[in-house]
């Protein structure tokens, strides 16, 4: 049973965190599908400043990642971008993200969206017992991973599997291959305009 308490007509807000380096059509498809499947009022995309499980070398700056996210969601009123993790600074932990968002949206019911592979490691996250009091967790299937099943700590949404990753977008940029249609047109233009992902590691 979920420990958090909701009230009648509470806003239902999805939270999709990540490095978004860069944001791609797969991210947008997941946000859209979860918003529809769970009847959410909106989904917040929350770029991390730094994540504990990822190396940020060779990528875009936090300000650039925020701007690409804003460009990507500008045409969809259901999607918004939050800079809460970038503004806070330091390594991003989900418990901090959800604590801050709960304070910023009092009374809202939060739904934290993540890949099924990440949800499977929930016990390794910081303060896992507190996490499930702050939000309902939503596991989304990812290409190459087994389809998840609903569990005691999460819901499951089967989103379209786009087969695109930020790693692939960066790799294609370094090799001179096109990235249009893997990212939104506005993001593709921004990447070219700012000469992003022309060097650095593949990871």
What domains are there in the chain, each with its CATH number?
Answer: 12-193 (3.40.50.620)
CA 78 to chain centroid, in Å, comes to 15
Q: CA angle at residue 72 from 66 to 75, to 5 degrees?
A: 125
Enter the tokens of residue 92.
């991003």
Question: What gap in Å lies between CA 84 and CA 104, rounded to an integer?
Answer: 10
Q: For 128-155, b where at least 16 C-beta lie within 10 A, e where not — what string?
A: eeebbebbbbbbbbbeeeeebeeeeebb
Closest CA to 47 of 35, 63, 36: 63
pLDDT at 5: 44
Task: Beginning with the edge strand found earlier in the chain, give each strand of the sheet holding 42-47 in spatial order.
Answer: 79-81, 42-47, 12-18, 109-115, 136-140, 154-157
Enter the tokens of residue 50: 């730094």
Tokens 């801050």 correspond to what residue? 100
Nearest to 116 by CA among 138, 90, 86, 92: 138
Q: What is the pLDDT tens value at each position of the chain, 203 positions in all?
A: 344 444 457 899 999 999 999 999 999 999 999 999 999 999 999 999 976 555 545 689 999 999 999 999 999 999 999 999 999 988 889 999 999 999 999 999 999 999 888 888 899 999 999 999 999 999 997 656 677 778 777 899 988 888 899 999 999 999 999 999 999 999 999 999 999 999 765 54
Distance CA 147, CA 100 (A): 31
Give yes or no for a cis peptide into 22 (omega within 30° of 0): yes
Q: Which of 127, 125, 124, 162 is nearest to 141 (CA)?
A: 162
The DSSP result for 16-78, as a single string, is EEE--TT--HHHHHHHHHHHHHTT-SEEEEEE-S--TT---TTS--HHHHHHHHHHHHTT-TT
Which pLDDT score is estimated for 150? 80
pLDDT score of 65: 97
């Amino acid at each position: 049973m979920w420990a958090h308490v909701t009230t009648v007509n509470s806003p239902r807000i999805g939270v999709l965190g990540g490095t978004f380096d860069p944001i791609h059509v797969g991210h947008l498809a997941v946000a859209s599908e979860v918003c529809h499947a769970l009847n959410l009022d909106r989904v917040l995309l929350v770029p991390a400043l730094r994540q504990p499980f990822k190396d940020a070398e060779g990528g875009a700056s936090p300000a650039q990642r925020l701007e690409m996210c804003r460009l990507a969601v500008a045409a969809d009123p259901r999607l918004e971008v939050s800079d809460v993790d970038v503004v806070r600074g330091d390594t991003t932990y989900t418990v901090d993200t959800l604590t801050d968002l709960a304070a910023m949206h009092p009374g809202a019911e939060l739904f934290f969206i993540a890949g099924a592979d990440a949800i499977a490691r929930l016990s390794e996250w910081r303060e896992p017992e507190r996490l499930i009091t702050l939000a309902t967790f939503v596991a989304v299937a990812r290409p190459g991973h087994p389809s998840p099943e609903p569990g005691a700590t999460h819901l499951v949404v089967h989103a379209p599997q786009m087969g695109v990753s930020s790693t692939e977008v960066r790799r294609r940029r370094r090799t001179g291959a096109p990235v249009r249609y893997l990212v939104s047109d506005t993001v593709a233009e921004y990447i070219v305009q700012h000469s992003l992902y022309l060097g650095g590691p593949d990871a």
